[in-house]
Amino acid sequence: MFSKILIANRGEIAVRIIKTCRRLRIKTVVVYSEADADSLAVEMADESVFLGPPPANQSYLLADKIIQACRDTGAEAIHPGFGFLSEKAEFAQQCVDAGIVFIGPNAHAIAAMGDKIESKKFAQKAGVSCVPGHIGEIDDTAHAIRISEEIGYPVMIKASAGGGGKGIRVAWTRADVEEGFPAVKAEAKGAFGDDRIFIEKFITSPRHIEIQVLGDRHGHVVHLFERECSIQRRNQKVIEEAPSPLLDPETRAAMGAQAVALAKAVDYDSAGTVEFVAGQDKSFYFLEMNTRLQVEHPVTELITGLDLVEQMIRSAAGLPMDFTQEDLKINGWAIESRLYAEDPYRSFLPSIGRLVRYQPPAEGAHGLYQVRNDSGVREGDEISMFYDPMIAKLCTHGATRVDAVNGMARALEDLEIEGLGHNAPFLSAVMDQPRFRSGVLSTNYIKDEFPDGFGGLKAAADQLDLMTAAACWMHRLQITRARGDGRLFAASERDAFVVFIGEHKRAVKLSGEGRALNVELPGEGRSLGLQDVDWRPGRKLFKGVLDGRAFSLEVAAAPEGFLARHRAARARVLVLTPQSADLHERLPKKVAVDTSKLIVSPMPGLVVSLNVEVGREVKAGEAVAVIEAMKMQNLIKAECDGVVKAVGVKAGDSVAADEVLIEFA
């Protein structure tokens, strides 16, 4: 076994590898860029080596520097994590040539399977069923149009070296190809340094199901069952689970057998993933093989009890697997939610900044579910614009899918984040959504269920009760402070108030003593009992037990009342005396500011190009600019017709969120 390993990566995967190495008593070295100098991974590792500036091509993609760091520190092996150099056959071979062990598959397997064009050719020869398409490189846009029309729309335009949802577009028409092909090439060139593109048929209403495989250097290969990754946005996985609610034992065995056969055909000797697109009828087709550890590997670990990082290290050290396919069983159900620094209320645009507060739910057992949280950041860290905006991978595991889903919904409640936007409200909406809970999924799920984007969900009756009780407690605390006698409520007091929650209005009578509050609802003939409150002014998370149900509610002070969010429902809550409530209802409604003549940057980023000038007439839906953020190129389109009055930026400028790009006359 190795005594020291260098980790050629950053963020949560670097932290994840360090945790396994500590358990195995292996010392670790991490490399880092300027942006990651104060990162959690650097803090946790035994040694660290500086690489260069934040851009990946000046730091984490510098193979020679990383190999030299390995030599300088005496590390015997390199673990590449995922992304960056993890699927570069050249890098794996460079390690071998330098006498360093590459913790991953051999260079031949990476070359055969890591290139999406070559892998499809190889899979066809091996008898694996593939999605119909053009297996070969494409010269230019005209060539792409010809191929697309031969295959038949819709088609998928994909970068050969792509991954992580980047370098991929679905084209439904010729116009989509004309717009999408050059965009994919540019994105692929910038993200992977490789602009080769291929096109294949897009399967409508598909499901994304992948098989985890594991091999050693003694010819043994097993599969660790499947993960379903159908909940995707812009081809980026958002929620994953294991096993899949679609598969039956027979289909699972057939997919597993194909995945193992493909892995054996290339002498695969590490952790890898064979990805399939599946129809609702359980038909399946090979998509690609990822020759590395996957982001979503924790759900497989939770249902099998294996540590995949440990298995990769064991294989690289030449140790045989100490289990067989027959030894592996599925234990329960696991869900993973990718927690991103992005604003779901603004089309999921990146929301970079500092984590002023970051308190994930406690890991370990919580009744019917257990929590695992893989994260590379801590409170006070900054989410940088140079890398993916991931904060954490929050996982729950239960005996059944219902337990795992309910556990995830509850775990997301207990999450505290301040300082930047995050997608926890959206993740909560999915957990509560009937279609997701039914297991009838597809990669179109988000588009189907949230066609107009995400604006939150309406508060259900029980959520109105939670918001009412919490707001009354906070209001009572304000009264106590104003009164100054130190009492919360005397048992004899019974105060009447009116509570406004968004468009809802309800009369309440409050009574209680000490840490207990009774909220009587005279108009409904019932009352709410609130106990065990854990909250103080200034804290964002209000915790309590309402009528025996533990809950967490995100709260914040507002110019009037409080802002409250429970899962995907949010509202402004006011607690007023009957007299103040009467006056409040007489106030005129605020008129929103008209911004219809402005096109603003929806995110902080870099202006790649501007397609308009002053005096030009623009039509609704026309592309006017390209903004690059988090390694993704985002097309900015006009929402209405107009004539350009002013252009506030130029190509190459850095812009902030909401900065005006173009003004119409």
Catalytic residues: 288
The Cα angle at residue 409 between residues 232 and 563, in degrees rounded to 5:
100
Number of CB atoms found within 10 A of residue 617's CB:
11
How far is 39 from 62, CA to CA, in rounded Å?
Answer: 19
* 290, 161 Cβ separation under 8 angstroms: no
Q: How far apart are CA 206 and CA 223, in angstroms?
A: 22
- Tell me which residue of 63, 51, 69, 60 sits closest to 386, measured CA to CA: 60
Q: How far apart are CA 312 and CA 469, in angstroms?
A: 51
Please report, to the nearest 10 degrees, the dihedral formed by the alpha carbons of residues 633, 638, 639, 645 taken in order: 140
Residues 33, 49: Cα–Cα separation, whole Å: 9
Label residues 164-181 b or e (16+ Cβ within 10 Å = b): bebbbbbbeeeebbebbb
Specify whether the CB–CB gap between 79 and 92 falls below 8 A: no
**Buried (b) or exposed (e) across 575-600, using 16+ Cβ within 10 A?**
bbeeeebeeeeeeeeeeeeeeeebbb
Rounded CA separation 658/64 (Å): 41
Token digits for 299? 């759900």
| Number of residues that make up the chain | 665
Sheet order of strands, 77-79 included: 47-52, 27-33, 4-7, 77-79, 101-102
Which residue's entry shows tokens 């350009």?
A: 644
CA distance 285 to 203: 10
Q: How far apart are CA 177 and CA 173, in angstroms?
A: 7
